[in-house]
Structure 1
Amino acid sequence: MYIGLGIALLVIGAILYFAVTASIGGISISMIGVILMIGGVLAIVLSFLQQAGNRSRGITTTRETSVDPGSGSRIERTDVDPH
């Protein structure tokens, strides 16, 4: 989800850092570019960590089969634990 945002921040930050030579009184355009690039990297890293966390949450299924001694029929029981 945040990968697109991270890429956009990286691109905008790189443009501000490497391509813009204008200056505004009291504001460093290149420093804003560095801050945006750091934010973009953080957004991408957090996105990967979030996806890795979602993959580790699995579903555990337990299946038991037994035979009813009275009727001789097979009984199946399935338990699902979504963590």
Structure 2
Amino acid sequence: MGYGFGALLVVVGLVLALAVTDTINDVDLTMVGWIMAGVGVVLIVLTAVTWNSGRRTRNVETVTHPDGSQTVRDNRSSS
């Protein structure tokens, strides 16, 4: 979903929470707005964490020994 949808939820949620004072069929739009804003913030954080995890590097080193056997070493690091 990404940053855009999270930002949209935050903006619409804050508008509902801070600017709208009406209720529709006993639904408190202020509370709905705060919930939407909170979900938007969580979505933005999860997107940042998920996209940042893809920036790790992986080095695979294969060593062939004189007897013909091979050893594989997998090095992972964060950049």
Aligned counterparts, 1:9-24, within 5 A: 9-24=9-24
Contact 2:16 2:33 in 1 (8 A): yes
TM-score normalised according to structure 2 size: 0.71
Instruction: Return the alpha-carbon distance in structure 1 between the equivalents of residues 62 and 23 of structure 2.
Output: 68
Of structures 1 and 2, the larger Rg is shown by: 1
Deviations 1:34-53 (A, max 9, x none): 00001100110000110121
Deviations 1:15-70 (A, max 9, x none): 101111222232100000000001100110000110121112x2315487xxxxxx
What secondary structure sits across from 1:55 in the alignment? coil
Instruction: Return the alpha-carbon distance in structure 1 between the equivalents of residues 15 and 4 of structure 2.
Output: 17
| Superposed structure 1 runs of 4+ greater than 2 Å apart | 61-64
Instruction: Return the alpha-carbon distance in structure 2 between the equivalents of residues 47 and 19 of structure 1.
Output: 28
Determine the structure 1 residue equivalent to 2:37: 37
Q: By percentage of residues, which structure has more strand? A: 2
The root-mean-square deviation of aligned C-alpha atoms, in Å, is: 2.5
Determine the structure 1 residue equivalent to 2:52: 52
TM-score normalised according to structure 1 size: 0.68
Q: How many residues end up aligned between the 2 structures? A: 68
List runs of 5+ in structure 1 lacking aligned partners: 65-78
